[in-house]
A and B are shown apart, each in its own frame.
Chain A
Amino acid sequence: MIKQLHFYGGIHPVEDKVAQSVPIVEPPILETYMVPLQQHIGAPAKAVVAKGDQVKRGQLLGEAQGFVSAPVHAPTSGVIREVTTCLGPSGAQVPALLLASDGEDAPADPMPAIDWHQASPGDLRQRISAAGIVGKGGAAFPTVVKLSPPPNKKIDTLILNGVECEPCLTADHRLMLERAADIVTGAQITARILGAKKIIIGIENNKPDAIEVMRQAGADYGIEVCSLRVRYPQGAEKQLIYAVTGRKVPSGGLPADIGCLVQNVGTAAAIADAVCLGKPLYERVTTVTGTPLVSPGNWRFRVGTTYSEAIKLAGGVKEDPIKIISGGPMMGMAVYSLDIPIIKSTSGILLLSKDELTQFAVRPCIRCGRCNDSCPMGMMPGILSVQIENQRYELAEKWHVMDCIECGCCAYTCPASRPLVQHLRRAKAEVQAARRAAKAKAEK
């Protein structure tokens, strides 16, 4: 175990890990799957199948468009009923394929297994790209891009993110308990691609069973487990790197700038599947939880499973929820429809009951400073919010608004109930637009 540093700020919300002890369940095959072609950051995949085509499980449905993109594969065997659009968690319509399953779940021919001990990093990257692997921690950044840092940036430390600092989410916890060996294999493959000498797994110490399991799984391979103090957002990339290695990611920079790379444990397991079994990414473990649910738990859903199907599997609701959130309670997106499909990055579906709804009238900033005390990036959200209310975005840029990681600690602690994250997001969008406009003007 390494001595860990504590990052400045952060909060300690109620953990509520109700589904912690529920093992991952494999759900039955559904009648239809609405498979979005955009499940990642970057350009959406382009459909390579048409209406009426027969597909098998794992078959390529959409190919990547450009480098920052990822392919999409069929979650089960069946017929493409429609090429259409569906609702995404952010409320926007995304291109999607409606797949009607034939119930057989017949697999397509898997990609040949690779002996990763011998394979070149280039071949391994190729396989990760072909399998459609994206970051499963929530960001869904195409993994092949992340694993291709510029040649002048050498990665020496790979950090696996098993922290799962969001309250209520337990998918990564169960994954570590049940697939520790695959996670270790995936980590080793990633380290081989990057040439990293050191692998460390960061886990919050409210998961002692996972810490023990991963420690045993990684012991033979020199993989260390770093037990971290429980504090949100310990799982945020910059804070995790600091706690585990003591290095700080430069403002405006990337972890690769300081020789580190962070990877979610789910992504590591998916990499192991892709390389050793030739299996593309078409399913993920998602926590479905919340007090209104009858039986919260963790399921290995295929992509394209709608939220209504997921909630049905959790036994439905005892009472009507007031909020349904895609993700965790601190950074997730509130949704208004159950027709949204689960995608590669859906870490949780959380239902909040009426008693748990926090809705207050917004008051002016009283400059109490709690936002600054809790901000893991050391910013001053209170002052920024007043600037943003007055549309002084250029001032906000000077006061470091672009360093915001949107973790929500500031809004959590604000006694004036100000919508700080909303303000900061708005400011970041305005600043980026202004920068783009200035760049375009300079290039003329």
Chain B
Amino acid sequence: MSENTIRLPDTSKLVISSSPHLHEDDSVRRIMFMVILALLPACIAGAWFFGPRALWVLLVCVASCVACEILCTRLMGREVHVSDGSAALTGLLLGMNLPVTTPTWICVIGSAIAIVLGKMIYGGLGYNPFNPALVGRVALLLAFPTVMTTWIAPMTRRLEWAGVNSVTQATPLGVSELTAGTLPFSYWDLFWGRTGGCIGETCVPALLLGGIFLIALNIIRWHVPVFYLATVAIITGVTHWLAPAQCAPPLYHLLSGGLMLGAFFMATDMVTTPLSRKGAVVFAVGCGVLTSVIRIWGSYPEGVSFSILIMNSLTPLIDRWTAGKPFGTPRRAPREVKP
């Protein structure tokens, strides 16, 4: 080849940056939208059981969260990044944790609390210590206890909006029969979601589908749901064995309340849970212990929200405990002085 046809690169537009010069094809936005996608089966199930108003609640929560984040970011004088999907995800999770009868204005308040007090005042994405959706939910639970604990039976208002014919029903964990020794719902009812409850928490197969999808894509750690559920199963198994008349069997506990939703989608929230695998296991076991304790001995029928929030507060400590020593023996070998 003659010299004339060899072309040298033009160096005037070369980019300089630090190594590494390769990057995996992933982003925060992709992660958030994958989680949203994984939640959709449970949302659809919620709409199926509780009627079209469920979709309205979810929509209001998502829209309010996104609006609040935009407003807050502008007030903080920062670049708006709602397109990364984290506000939408918070809205969706909050909505899935509300009963279908929640009035619209309460949904908006919950969303505002979730975004403003649960995330933005700490500096936005990545800096909040508590799960924002749970902050919103628990705030609503404490501020509007009656609204937040009124449940309707599923399939009673599937095609209705106003719900004049809806029937209220206690949730699987709220029934008093639990302490009388007989189970009010069959395991199949619990599994498919033919019970009262929050919009997104009842249909187990829909939640499992989403959860396994996320584990397969390596977006959430399998350690968290496995250890969380196993801990609850073990503790409730022991209590049921010791007092079968007062305590429900472990499978009943696993399939009721917000445990499945919490184990797969709330306790796996990256920002508020420990960074390492070891830390995630400690977190999950802690959640399992607290959930079981609150359910069995506490006055609230459901313990998932509180247990996750309490463990969130311990996350920095868990991180420090599980930071571990880097690769190499623990004792620092003194550097030899070279001759």
List of A residues within 8 angstroms of B331 by Cβ: 250
The verdict on B75 contacting chain A, using a C-beta distance below 8 Å, is no
Query: For residues 292 through 312 of chain B, which have their beta carbon under 8 Å from a beta carbon of chain A?
Result: none
CB distance A383 to B22 under 8 Å? no
Name the distance in Å between A149's Cβ and chain B's nearest Cβ: 8
Question: Are the CB atoms of A333 and B19 closer together than 8 Å?
Answer: yes
Expressed in whole angstroms, the Cα–Cα distance for A62 and B117 within the complex equals 66
- A415 lies within 8 A of B30 (CB): yes
Given the known A-B contacts A250-B331, A336-B14, A382-B275, are A412 and B20 also in contact in the complex, defined by CB atoms under 8 Å? Answer: yes
Whether the pair A425, B6 counts as a contact (CB closer than 8 A) is no
Name A321's contact: one of B1, B9, B323 (CB within 8 Å).
B9
Q: Which residues from B are CB-within-8-Å of A308?
A: 8
Per the 8 Å Cβ criterion, residues 189-245 of B in contact with A are 221
**Quick check: B126 and A380 within 8 Å, CB to CB?**
no
Contact B21 A323, beta carbon cutoff 8 Å: yes
Minimal beta-carbon separation of A97 from chain B (angstroms): 24
Q: How far is the CA of A145 from the CA of B338 in the complex (A)?
A: 8
How far does the alpha carbon of A153 sit from the alpha carbon of B338 in the complex, in Å?
12
B7 and A359 contact, CB distance less than 8 A: no
B7's partner among A317, A366, A383 (CB-CB below 8 A) is A317
Question: Distance in Å from the Cβ of B246 to the closest Cβ of chain A?
Answer: 40
Instruction: Render B252-295 as a binary contact track against A, CB cut-off 8 A, 1 for contact.
Output: 00000000000000000011111111001000000000000000
Residues of B within 8 A of A408 (CB): 19-20, 22
Closest A-chain residue to B26, C-beta based? A415
Question: Quick one: given A317-B7, A359-B17, A421-B19, are A369 and B275 in contact (CB under 8 Å)?
Answer: yes
Q: How far is the CB of A299 from chain B (nearest CB, A)?
A: 15
Query: Taking the complex as formed, is A120 at the interface, i.e. its CB lies under 8 A from any CB of chain B?
Result: no
Whether B339 sits at the interface, judged by CB under 8 Å, is yes
What string of 1s and 0s marks CB contacts (under 8 Å) between B1-15 and chain A? 100011111110111
Given the contacts A254-B335, A369-B270, A411 and B6 also touching, CB distance less than 8 Å: no
In the complex, residue of chain A having the shortest beta-carbon distance to the beta carbon of B16? A334
B146 contacts the other chain (CB 8 A)? no
B333 touches A422 (CB 8 A): no
Chain A CB within 10 Å, residue with most, of B20, B125, B276: B20
> Counting CB contacts under 8 A, is A118 at the interface?
no
A74 to B27, CA, bound (A): 49
Task: Give the size range of A's interface with the partner.
Answer: 35 or more
B22 touches A358 (CB 8 A): yes
The docked-state distance in angstroms from the alpha carbon of A379 to that of B5 is 50
Does A107 lie at the interface of the complex (its beta carbon under 8 Å from any beta carbon of B)? no
The verdict on B31 contacting chain A, using a C-beta distance below 8 Å, is yes
Of A125-133, A155-163, A370-378, the segment with at least 4 beta carbons within 8 Å of chain B is A370-378
The answer for the CA separation of A249 and B328 in the assembled complex, in Å, is 5
Q: Is the interface of B mostly helix, strand, loop or mixed?
A: loop
Question: CA separation between A412 and B272, bound complex, in Å?
Answer: 23
* Residue among B1, B23, B324 with max Cβ neighbours from chain A (10 Å): B23
Residues of B within 8 A of A122 (CB): none
Residue contact A412 to B22, C-beta cutoff 8 Å: yes
With A and B bound together, what is the CA distance between A352 and B15 in angstroms?
Answer: 10
In the bound complex, do residue A363 and residue B81 qualify as a contact, i.e. CB atoms below 8 Å apart?
yes
- Residues of A contacting B10 in the complex (Cβ-Cβ under 8 angstroms): 320
Q: Is A140 at the interface (CB under 8 A from chain B)? A: no
Q: Mark A388-404, 1 if CB is under 8 A from B, else 0.
A: 00000000000110010
Question: Would you list which residues of chain B between 45 and 90 have a CB under 8 Å from chain A?
Answer: 81, 84
Which chain B residues border A377 with CB–CB below 8 Å?
326-328
Q: Is the CB of B319 within 8 A of A153?
A: no
Asked if B41 CB lies within 8 Å of chain A CBs, one says no
Asked if A8 and B20 make an inter-chain contact with CB atoms under 8 angstroms apart, the answer reads no
Known contacts being A167-B22, A359-B15, A408-B20, is A400 close to B326, with CB within 8 Å?
yes
Q: Could you tell me if B9 and A338 are in contact, using CB atoms closer than 8 angstroms?
A: yes
Given the known inter-chain contacts A317-B9, A368-B270, please indicate yes or no for A422 contacting B18, CB distance below 8 A. Answer: yes
For the complex, give the distance between the alpha carbons of A417 and B153 in Å.
Answer: 46
Assuming the contacts A317-B7, A417-B27, asked whether A367 and B22 have C-beta atoms less than 8 A apart, the reply is: no
User: Nearest 6 A-B pairs (CB), nearest first?
Assistant: A408-B20, A253-B333, A364-B126, A251-B328, A316-B6, A358-B23
Given contact pairs A332-B19, A338-B11, enumerate 15 new A-B contacts (beta carbons under 8 Å): A238-B328, A250-B328, A251-B327, A254-B336, A315-B6, A318-B7, A324-B14, A330-B22, A336-B11, A337-B11, A359-B17, A360-B23, A378-B326, A415-B27, A421-B20
Query: Which residues of B are at the interface with A, using a C-beta cutoff of 8 A?
Result: 1, 5-11, 13-24, 26-28, 30-31, 81, 84, 123-127, 221, 270-277, 280, 319, 323-333, 335-336, 338-339
